[in-house]
Amino acid sequence: MRKILLLTISLFVAGFLQAQKIQSDNYGTIGSISSSGKIENRSYSSVGYIKSDGTIQNGSYSTIGYITSSGAIQNSSYSTVGYVKADGTVQNASYSTIGYIKKDGTVQNKNYSTIGYASGIKKEWAAVVFFFFHFENMEIKK
């Protein structure tokens, strides 16, 4: 009985620590983000990192931005490029809504069309990947 309980707990913990998929609108896997903030593309190459303090880095560990505690997304010069509201609304620097991160991980554009899925991923992290930085090379979107 003890072994079964230990095995169940181990499988639960391993599943929790596993990277969460970043998916396209048709559920194709385009990458993943681990619970530690490591961002990988579909080929399992590291393309970036989101540190626990909100620092966003590219695959070479160069700082390319920040996520503030208030949900502001900033570039490496601390200029705000957007916001993620508590309800999952994503806004650009001018406060215009550009998308939504739903509680179930569905990512929508400003017209409510689904553009992807990020289930189990923090809404700020999903916004960084889908709206503010180019996913493949983790550069700021212009």
Tens of pLDDT, residues 77-105: 999 999 999 999 999 999 999 999 999 99
**pTM reported for the whole predicted model:** 0.81
What is the pLDDT at residue 135?
63
Contacts of 81 (CB under 8 A, 6+ apart): 65, 73, 74, 75, 92, 93, 132, 140, 141
pLDDT tens for 24-49 read: 899 999 899 999 999 999 889 999 99
Q: Please, what is the average pLDDT of the chain?
A: 85
Residue 16's closest CA among 142, 130, 120? 120
Domain boundaries defined on the chain: 20-140
Return the residue matching tokens 């957007």: 82
